[in-house]
Amino acid sequence: MEQRNFCIVGLGLLGGSYARGLTEAGCRVTAVDVRGEAIRFALDKGWIAQGTTEDARPLLEQAEAVVLGLYPHALIDWVRANARFLRPGTLVTDVCGVKQAVVGPVQDAMPEGVEFIASHPMAGKEVSGVEYADSAIFRPANFIITPTERNTPRGIAFARQLAETLGFAHIAQLSCAEHDRMIGYVSQLTHAIAVSLMNANGDPRLCEFTGDSFRDLTRIARINEHLWSELFLLNRDALCAEIEQFEASLTDLKEKLQAGDEEGLKDLFRRSTARRAMFDR
């Protein structure tokens, strides 16, 4: 890609995986993080050329491109305090899982000539920290770019090249509102369901009887409470609407069950089977 000098702000699982992937692709990568161990770990691994826990300014001034690997609220705070150190022409992106609540404030805080193009790498693990960073997590994953009317073709091309360099399977472009509705259904609703299923029954003896299906449905019930409470609350309206749509679908099934409506149940099963089969093509 055109930009070769990156600074990663927030060297967690995603930021660390970006650092690793970009260094492997031949870029020069620096990093800023509050955890000294994170910086030392990435330096030891050779995933970053330089890093700091203190004054970000020198690293930001060198960067052609910046990736903000921070949680949403921390991201907005960081940008308000530090964006003034970015040189004109710098391209900035993020990794946030919600967009409407983040993109406006961040674009507002950018200095003249610095472009923030939002994006969302739909990749992760059930663990956090640069210690688990692995650029292989991007290979099967989706990368969503969410431009606003303040973005330029140059900014959008940068986000696309970044995703290509990191090896994402699929790159798409959505508005921030479309992104948040989509993510409310395919990601946040599934986490809300997994948590609620896990919490619905407190009988510890059930552990010994769980099969694959229960394990699959609750894998993501191991959840980082700080990140996910932010993501849920920042996408509250879209997520509530998705929960209510799901509740209606489950109530429909329950009513058919209570009524002994065998044909009605079979219809639901045929519909879900046909829809799910589309994913396995």
- 105-134 binders of a copy of itself (CB under 8 A): 122-123
**Residue environment code for 16-35, b if the CB has 16+ CB neighbours within 10 A, otherwise e:** bbbbbbbbebebbbbbbbee
Q: Quick one: tokens of 262? A: 């065998």
The stretch near a copy of itself (CB under 8 A) out of 1-9, 14-22, 57-65, 140-148 is 140-148
Is residue 21 within 8 A of residue 138, CB to CB? The reply is: yes
The stretch near a copy of itself (CB under 8 A) out of 1-9, 55-63, 146-154, 186-194 is 186-194
**Residue 172 and residue 160: Cα distance in Å, rounded?**
9
Does position 210 interact with a copy of itself (CB under 8 A)? The reply is: yes
Residue whose pair of structure tokens reads 């930009």 in the numeric block: 3
Does position 67 interact with a copy of itself (CB under 8 A)? The reply is: no
How near is the Cβ of 177 to a copy of itself at its closest, in Å?
A: 14
Does position 170 interact with a copy of itself (CB under 8 A)? The reply is: yes
134 burial level (CB within 10 Å; 0-12, 13-18, 19+): middle
Does position 254 interact with a copy of itself (CB under 8 A)? The reply is: yes
Does position 26 interact with a copy of itself (CB under 8 A)? The reply is: no
Does position 101 interact with a copy of itself (CB under 8 A)? The reply is: no
Is residue 95 within 8 A of residue 9, CB to CB? The reply is: no
- Nearer to a copy of itself (CB atom), residue 177 or residue 257: 257
The stretch near a copy of itself (CB under 8 A) out of 1-9, 38-46, 160-168, 240-248 is 240-248
Does position 25 interact with a copy of itself (CB under 8 A)? The reply is: no
3-state helix, strand and coil shares in percent for the chain, rounded to the nearest 5: 60, 10, 30
**Residue 256 and residue 122: Cα distance in Å, rounded?**
36
Phi, psi values for residue 171, rounded to 5°: -120, 130
How near is the Cβ of 260 to a copy of itself at its closest, in Å?
A: 6
**Residue 144 and residue 118: Cα distance in Å, rounded?**
9
Does position 252 interact with a copy of itself (CB under 8 A)? The reply is: yes
How near is the Cβ of 72 to a copy of itself at its closest, in Å?
A: 13
Does position 211 interact with a copy of itself (CB under 8 A)? The reply is: yes
- Nearer to a copy of itself (CB atom), residue 53 or residue 132: 132
> CB atoms < 10 A from the CB of 199, how many?
10
How near is the Cβ of 183 to a copy of itself at its closest, in Å?
A: 8
The residue from 25, 74, 156, 268 that contacts a copy of itself (CB under 8 A) is: 268
